[in-house]
Amino acid sequence: MVVTDIQRGIPAKVVMIIQRVVLNSRPGKNGVPVAENFRIEAVPLPEKITDGQVQTRTLYLSVDPYMLDPQLVDGHLSYFLGAAGITGLTSFLGIKEKGHVSLGANQTMVVSGAAGACGSLAGQIGRLEGCSRVVGICGTDEKCSILVSEMGFDAAINYKKGNVAEQLHELCPAGVDVYFDNVGGDISDAVINQMNQNSHIILCGQISQYNKDVPYPPPLPPAVEEIQKAKNITRERFLVLNYMDKQEASILQLCQWIKEGKLKVKETVVKGLENIGGAFQSMMTGGNTGKQIVLISE
């Protein structure tokens, strides 16, 4: 928005008005984020850029619980917020560093939150790295269908329908060797119960526990922890920023897979800065498929 001093009855100066999103309130220790936790403000853009400052135009914004060269992604700039950015790095390095996936080892991987930004990539990367079977867990039949028909998963479970443990037993007859955990809680307990000896949990996220006042990673129930220890299942906190020495090579690998069509990218795009709060709320409650993106301008 441009406001001139002439409109105010004063000759000749142009004032550029921009919008910004600010934190309006907090949900509290055990609250759930809502769109009203954010508000839009209109503020004047400074007239001059001082030393050490740059002026940029925002095209896309990413909304996540964690708050380049376009040719690498065939011009899809938003991919640098997701599949070719920190999201892709988290999936790729999590599997490489904590999954212990070996080509030819006939390993089964299970991914929770499988239709989300990290999960939808993790299942595909697990397959590319050598897993012989990949099963996803998500929250709608439509997402299950996308995982199997478009993302190369062998099977998918809608955790809102039927018994997750029984379906896992049916779909993973040889047990579970690698678990890419995005959710925690009851779903993770069900998976851990069916994991094999010396298997591995990639502790990517615990979204079911984020709005509770619990430590991270949340402790397992005693019976589940007993299984974990008895089977020597690794469950270590994973922080992608600890592996930034591998960032460049990892990004290049992700971009190569994307360009070759081996790594499919899904995005849920919401238009307008004013909708960023609603987009964040939707992402936290599973309303997105793939990466949740806010498009600011085209």
pLDDT per residue of the chain (298 residues) written in tens, 0 to 9: 555 555 556 555 678 888 999 999 988 888 888 999 999 999 998 888 889 888 888 888 877 664 487 888 888 989 998 999 999 999 999 999 999 999 999 999 999 999 999 999 999 999 999 999 999 999 999 999 999 999 999 999 999 998 999 999 999 999 999 999 999 999 999 999 999 999 999 999 887 777 777 777 889 999 999 999 999 999 988 889 899 899 999 999 999 999 999 999 999 999 999 999 999 999 988 899 999 999 987 7
pLDDT at 67: 47
CA distances from 218 to 146, 176, 242 (A): 30, 21, 21
Residues 237, 234: Cα–Cα separation, whole Å:
10
- Please check whether residue 217 is in contact with residue 192, taking contact to mean a CB–CB distance below 8 angstroms: no
- Cis preceding linkage at 217, omega within 30: yes
For the beta carbon of residue 286, count every other beta carbon within 10 angstroms: 17
Long-range CB contact pairs, 205-209, < 8 A, 24+? 205/65, 205/113, 205/118, 205/181, 206/181, 206/182, 207/65, 207/113, 207/182, 207/183, 207/284, 208/183, 208/184, 209/184, 209/185
For the beta carbon of residue 209, count every other beta carbon within 10 angstroms: 17
Residues 31, 83: Cα–Cα separation, whole Å:
29
pLDDT at 146: 97
Kindly give the pairing relationship between strand 108-112 and strand 176-181. Answer: parallel
H or E, element range at 255: helix 247-260
- Please check whether residue 114 is in contact with residue 142, taking contact to mean a CB–CB distance below 8 angstroms: no
Burial of residue 206, with CB atoms counted within 10 A of its CB: 0-12 exposed, 13-18 middle, 19 or more buried: buried
pLDDT at 53: 87
Give the global pTM: 0.80
Residues 157, 110: Cα–Cα separation, whole Å:
10
First to last CA, the chain: 16
CA distances from 58 to 97, 106, 270 (A): 34, 45, 14
Residues 79, 172: Cα–Cα separation, whole Å:
32
- Please check whether residue 176 is in contact with residue 168, taking contact to mean a CB–CB distance below 8 angstroms: yes
- Please check whether residue 101 is in contact with residue 121, taking contact to mean a CB–CB distance below 8 angstroms: no
For 98-217, where are the alpha helices, taking DSSP H only?
117-129, 141-149, 164-171, 185-192
Residues 253, 272: Cα–Cα separation, whole Å:
32
pLDDT at 1: 57
Q: Which residues is 137 bridged to in the sheet?
A: 112, 157
pLDDT at 3: 54
